[in-house]
A and B are shown apart, each in its own frame.
Chain A
Amino acid sequence: MNQRASNLLDEALGLVDEGTNPWTLSGRVLLIEDCVETSAAFLLHHLLKRALSTLSSNVVVFLALSQPFSHYDRVLRKLGCNLAAQKENKRLLFLDMLTSEFPDGGESGLVALYGKIEKVVSALIEENKKSITIIIDDLSLLEVAANGASNHVLDFLHYCHTLTSVFGCTLVALNHEDIYSSMEKPALILHLEYLADILMKTEPLATGLATDVHGQLTVLNKETWDGQGRSRNRIFNFHFRIKENGVEYFSPGSRA
């Protein structure tokens, strides 16, 4: 069932060799940025699928503010992953936050939300679940839910970040970069970009729309360890084409 063939994206993320080192993203923060022209939702779907398809002790906590469960279920089904079954096996904790409101500045609501996540995570750790992945789709809607209290959302994210260091969770968040590009000092996105270990950004092609290339993807992977034990940043840039059952990644100009 699992597609073992690695592609350019998995390579960039360090997700190769699924058999030996299943989930190399433990303790890492992944930030996905996109824009109106090019949505990066497909990256979330890919990571969700990968997180759920490795060793059976992998659990995903999904904070959904953007789409209802039925949407993800149908999309992932075409990618070869049955979300409904994973939900029943308690490998997927799906928090439907489409209508969640955090009134009064969002502070108490977000604190409660963090408390809930932390409780779930520590309970899972005690059950010996090695890898927990927290996915947030998407952060800009969390800001709206908090009625504009970006500071509280940032605090919430900082707390979630502690989960990566304390419990080795993986934190994946999607945000729309073009919202912040006109702001002077957008703390939310700046802090996240700083904290992120892996930055993925989708953009439209400079030449405009095309039916066979849907956009370009840049992956910045900080602190990758090469053979000699040295860490270095690596930047990858490739083009992609999204299909129902997967995404093709290829070097710019080629269609490998």
Chain B
Amino acid sequence: MATSATSKSRTSSFSRNLTAVPLSNMPGLKYGPNGTVFISSGIPDLDKILGGGFALGSLVMVMEDAEAPHHMLLLRNFMSQGLVHKQPLLYASPSKDPKGFLGTLPSPRSCKVDKDKSHDDDPEQEGLRIAWQYKKYFGEHQQTVDNTRDGKHEYCNDFDLRKPLERHFLSGQHIDCVSILHNSDLVALHDRCATFFTQFPRNDGSIASAGRIAIQSFCAPQCEYSNVEWHMLSFIRSLRSMIRSSNAVAVVTFPPSLLLPSVSKRWQHMADTLLSVRAIPDEDKELANLLTGYQDMVGLLNVHKVARFNTQVPVILDATTFSIKLQKRRFLVLECLNQAPIDSASGNSYGTSASCSSSSKTGTHLDF
């Protein structure tokens, strides 16, 4: 049974003041504080880190690492989550045939697969609870309590990257793919986005549906418009303004290394939520000594900024750097970095926000 699109949300005239409560008839949406509504990023850990998910009306920007395609993992999960919830999607990419990308979208984990033994993979560690890793075990309990495991009606699915999304999710009128490869300017894309937004106007009433826009590698050099930086800035500004008055989320990824530092900073300021992904060099002995579980890490994710609407209080996270791991090589998880016990550990306790004490010649700025 698909989500009942006919039922309206509760017609109460009282203003709601709920925190992170799901709308029972729209599993894809969740109320947050200060009148915000969240949709899921498609990555359970990321939703938790961001305090619920991506806020409707926000612009999420992901800074890519030219050496690794980790931003694609974020995009795929984001897009799949929207399709599972039947939220309309607009996808723009610099490839000639963006529709082909849809075939690589992951499918939600099937209910039969056992979920809760995730952290106890290593039989040796089961009996041995190492004190300095204690927080890892607390997180488990929270996970199993939060998510209601009843199949399709979850707010956030766990996506199996090895299983492609079933065909029936991809059929339908609500997916629009745009190639921005041959655009000499951004007017066409702007107009497509503007049309897309008209489906989700934000008013004080109930939310009928939410939309997702995914723009991949926005300033990719093979696109003709990419050498006119002010046009791109103008587009981002316009996207941001349009999205403010609509019930949608836009995720835009871009490689900052291809931009002038001042232009990159302007983009970063325009983002409501700002993330960056970084590759982890293979066989970096220093990092291997520094972090536990280094071998399983695929990359690093940094959270620079979290969207704050209707409030001036910033979001201060316990940690801003997370390792990207593929559990059983299929499920994307984000973990806080665990500093391995070094002989000269000068009391840099887990979870503090001081920067890493040992000198890191690789120059990676790890924030524990």
Indicate which residue in A70, A179, A210 contacts B266 across the interface (CB closer than 8 Å): A179
**Given known A144-B230, A144-B233, A144-B234, contact A75–B265 (CB-CB < 8 A):** no
Which partner residue on chain B sits nearest A182 by CB separation? Answer: B261
Decide: B238 and A99 in contact? CB cutoff 8 A.
yes
Q: Mark B241-276, 1 if CB is under 8 A from A, else 0.
A: 110110000000000000011100110111000100
Question: Taking A68-B245, A179-B262, A209-B367 as contacts, is the C-beta distance between A74 and B310 under 8 angstroms?
Answer: yes
B305 within 8 A of A: yes
Which chain B residues border A78 with CB–CB below 8 Å?
Answer: 311
Assuming the contacts A36-B268, A36-B274, A41-B312, asked whether A147 and B262 have C-beta atoms less than 8 A apart, the reply is: no
Residue A183 lies at the interface, judged by CB distance under 8 Å to chain B: yes
Q: Which of B262, B309, B320, B355 has the most CB of A within 10 A?
A: B262
Q: How far is it, in angstroms, between the C-alpha of A4 and the C-alpha of B242 when the chains are bound?
A: 39
- B303 CB to closest chain A CB (Å) equals 11
B152 interface contact, C-beta 8 A: no
Contacts of B312 in A (CB 8 A): 41-42, 45, 75, 242, 244
Instruction: Give the Cβ gap from A6 to chain B, nearest Cβ, in Å.
Output: 20
B175 within 8 A of A: no
Partner of A211, one of B231, B270, B316: B316
- Report the bound CA distance from A52 to B341 in whole Å: 55
Residues of B within 8 A of A39 (CB): 314
The docked-state distance in angstroms from the alpha carbon of A41 to that of B272 is 13
B304 contacts partner chain A, Cβ-Cβ < 8 Å: yes
Residues of chain B within 8 A of A70, CB atoms compared: 310
On chain A, the residues within 8 Å of B242 by CB distance are 99
A76 to chain B, nearest CB (A): 9
Q: Contact partner of A207 among B34, B233, B354, CB < 8 A?
A: B354
Beta-carbon contact of B268 and A244 below 8 Å: no
Residues of chain A contacted by B310 (CB below 8 angstroms): 70-71, 74-75
Q: Which of B131-152 contact A (CB under 8 A)?
A: none
A179 contact from B229, B265, B317, B355, Cβ within 8 A: B265
Is B353 positioned at the interface, with any CB of A under 8 Å from its CB? yes
Q: Given A74, A140, A209, A244, which contacts B353 in the complex, CB threshold below 8 Å?
A: A209
Partner of B311, one of A36, A75, A101, A145: A75
Instruction: Give B259 Cβ to nearest chain A Cβ, in Å.
Output: 11
Shortest beta-carbon distance from A152 to chain B in Å: 13
B317 CB contacts on chain A under 8 angstroms: 209
Closest 3 CB pairs of A and B: A148-B230, A74-B310, A182-B261
